[in-house]
Amino acid sequence: MKVTVIDTGRANLLSVQRALAYCGAVPELTGDPAAVLAAEALVLPGVGAFGDGMAELRRRGLAEAICRRVGQGTPLLGICLGMQMLFDGSDEFGPHEGLGLIPGWVRRLPAADAAGAPQRVPHIAWEPLLPGPGRADFAGTALQSVPDGGECYFIHSYAAEPADDAFRLADCLYGGRRVCAAAARGRVLGTQFHPEKSGAVGLGILHDFLALCSGRHCRGAEPAS
């Protein structure tokens, strides 16, 4: 299937496109709102600061186009900053308003671990993915092929806090605390980790996202419209 990769000017777009192509998709890079409004599936990569990312989406007319297209039922995958921008907003040099596609807020990781000892921020590590609260496994989702102990690559200083655990698809542990690693609502999926940099596990996630979307079945908690 053709996948529209949204050019925010703030991401390593080539690695995302290569990973999607490896998984059998036809990636199409665009910064044109008209192309977003005609997309079969959307991928929103991003790195850097939340406020800058949202300002660029709005400047290019992409924020409105993304929300309109998702409201029409088009699946969307947000990666790293792209995931964070799916939420209501962020405290990063903020507050700043996000796309509002998944209820919740983005906050800085604590400077101390659960035992009170200093911990490094940003969080840069390979971490195993754990099913979110109330989930026994990842069956029926884009993470369904992740093996027990399957690790993905994280690099971030801020993390999303979904307003409801129903939207919390996966967590990782950092400093003895659960951190939201993936969130889903309807046909909207976000990953705090980089699937395109996470080896076979990450490629499996992209492959399953594409498979679920082509079958018009991306399971989340509720429709995102």
Q: Which residues are catalytic?
A: 80, 194, 196
Closest CA to 143 of 218, 37, 224, 72: 218
Residue whose tokens read 């599936």: 41
Count the neighbouring beta carbons within 10 Å of the beta carbon of residue 103.
15
CA separation for the pair 130, 170 (Å, rounded): 5
Phi-psi region of 157 (alpha: psi -120 to 50; beta: other; left: phi over 0): alpha
Q: Dihedrals φ, ψ of 167, to 5°? A: -90, -5
